[in-house]
Amino acid sequence: MAFKIFKEKAAWDMIGTASTMGMHMVSGTLVGLTMGYFLDRWLGTEPWLLLSFLLVGIVAGFKMVIEDSQRILRKQKDEDDDKGV
Amino acid sequence: MAAGGLPHPLIYFNELNHALGLNVPIHVWYTWAVMAILFTLSLAVRGKLAMVPAGLQNFFEVVIGGLEDFVVANIGEKGRTVFPIMAVIFIFILGMNLTGLVPGCDAPTANVNTNAAMAVCVFLYYNYIGLKTHGAGYIHHFMGPVKALSPLMLVLETVSHLARPLSLTLRLFGNIRGEEIVLILLFTLAPVVGTLPMYFLFILAKVIQAFIFFMLTMIYLKGSLEHAH
């Protein structure tokens, strides 16, 4: 049965992290865009803050994805170490 | 409520709104209903706590004990101080998700407002825990490991921290709302026969969504509890 996989705690953990990564990339960009848009409207500096904050948002999104993948890698390494001992 | 423009066949609390002449939104009614169920259950369990658990107490001990083991394995002993709010988040969201499967009910989490409220609570809570644990030194969490890059990292980390509640909200909303729409579509196509097989899939999916919200809360709290890198 395919449901057997859910009896393992590591599987739950992995599903969580994997389904997070896509969302993290998009939400970082969206937050950057929104911040830039409203700062522009407030300070009247169109379109510079929008563009720079969009860039910052994209970078932040990628950074979160990298952190997520590092977490997966670290977890796998821990498990491999456990098996080795 | 119309899910995705489709009329829901029957919503109990719409009828109640009509009868009482009120205009309380459906998702608020169902949130209150889930809260009432959880309060009743917890009071019933608390009323007759025993050294040798039986019945309902047994069930709750398994659920909460399992969650606590998971949290302590991930955060460490410090996790026990922040565990209650995480257990509440998991059980509450699970209850609200599963409400969508009861005929005549609608999941409160299929409305973006419910999810946004919970995500903002999580955001404020983990920042409060960070400030309480580290004081003014909490700012080092936002500065990154390299000193020369810290102004840039401050902006980046602010954006990525603000993105957290957004991604929490949208993931839960998208999944649960999508499931509700699929259920209503299948119900209009083939009543009962079409929806029944989907129930098994959606029970699994709804448990996973509640677990993901819980797990992300745990990861954020872990980040604010431990020292900056």
Nearest Cα to Cα of residue B80 among B89, B91, B69: B69
d(CA A62, CA A59) in angstroms, rounded, equals 5
Name which residue leads in pLDDT, B79 or B11: B79
B134 Cβ contact list (under 8 Å, min separation 6): B140, B141, B227, B228
Q: Given this model, what pLDDT does residue B1 score? A: 41
B62 shares contact with chain A (CB less than 8 Å):
no
Q: Given this model, what pLDDT does residue B201 score? A: 86
Chain B residues within an 8 Å CB radius of A28 = 159-160, 163
Looking at residue B51, the DSSP 8-state letter turns out to be S
Q: Are A24 and B163 inside 8 Å of each other by CB?
A: yes
d(CA B187, CA B193) in angstroms, rounded, equals 8
Looking at residue B148, the DSSP 8-state letter turns out to be T
Q: Given this model, what pLDDT does residue B35 score? A: 94
Bond before A47 cis per omega within 30 degrees:
yes
B70 shares contact with chain A (CB less than 8 Å):
yes
Q: Given this model, what pLDDT does residue B2 score? A: 44
A74 Cβ contact list (under 8 Å, min separation 6): none
Give residue-wise pLDDT tens across range B148-183: 888 888 888 888 899 999 999 999 999 999 988 888
Q: Are B216 and A15 inside 8 Å of each other by CB?
A: no
Q: Which of B70, B120, B159 to mutate to test the interface with A (most CBs of A within 10 A)?
A: B159
Beta bridge pairs of residue B197: none
Give me chain B's average pLDDT, please.
Answer: 86
Can you spell out the DSSP letters for B1-47? Answer: --BTTBPPS--HHHHHHHHHT----HHHHHHHHHHHHHHHHHHHHHH
Do the interacting molecules here have an ipTM over 0.85?
no
Give the minimum alpha-carbon distance from A39 to chain B in angstroms, rounded to a whole number: 14
- Mean pLDDT computed over B93-100: 91
Residue matched to tokens 């899939």: B201
Burial label, A31 (beta-carbon count in 10 A; 0-12, 13-18, 19+): buried
Q: Are B171 and A19 inside 8 Å of each other by CB?
A: yes
Chain A residues within an 8 Å CB radius of B159 = 28, 31-32, 35, 53, 56-57, 60
Q: Which of B67, B94, B160, B169 to mutate to test the interface with A (most CBs of A within 10 A)?
A: B160
Give residue-wise pLDDT tens across range A22-42: 888 888 899 999 999 999 999
pLDDT band at A6 (very low <50, low <70, confident <90, very high): low
d(CA B53, CA B30) in angstroms, rounded, equals 31
Name which residue leads in pLDDT, A54 or A8: A54
B6 φ, ψ (degrees, to nearest 5): -95, 135
Look up residue B206 and give its two tokens.
Answer: 């709804």
Q: Given this model, what pLDDT does residue B196 score? A: 83
B213 Cβ contact list (under 8 Å, min separation 6): B89, B90, B93, B118, B168, B172
B162 shares contact with chain A (CB less than 8 Å):
yes
* Least confident residue range of B72-81, B119-128, B185-194: B185-194
Name which residue leads in pLDDT, B37 or A2: B37
Q: Are A31 and B166 inside 8 Å of each other by CB?
A: yes
B204 Cβ contact list (under 8 Å, min separation 6): A3, A6
Looking at residue B52, the DSSP 8-state letter turns out to be S
Q: Given this model, what pLDDT does residue A5 score? A: 57
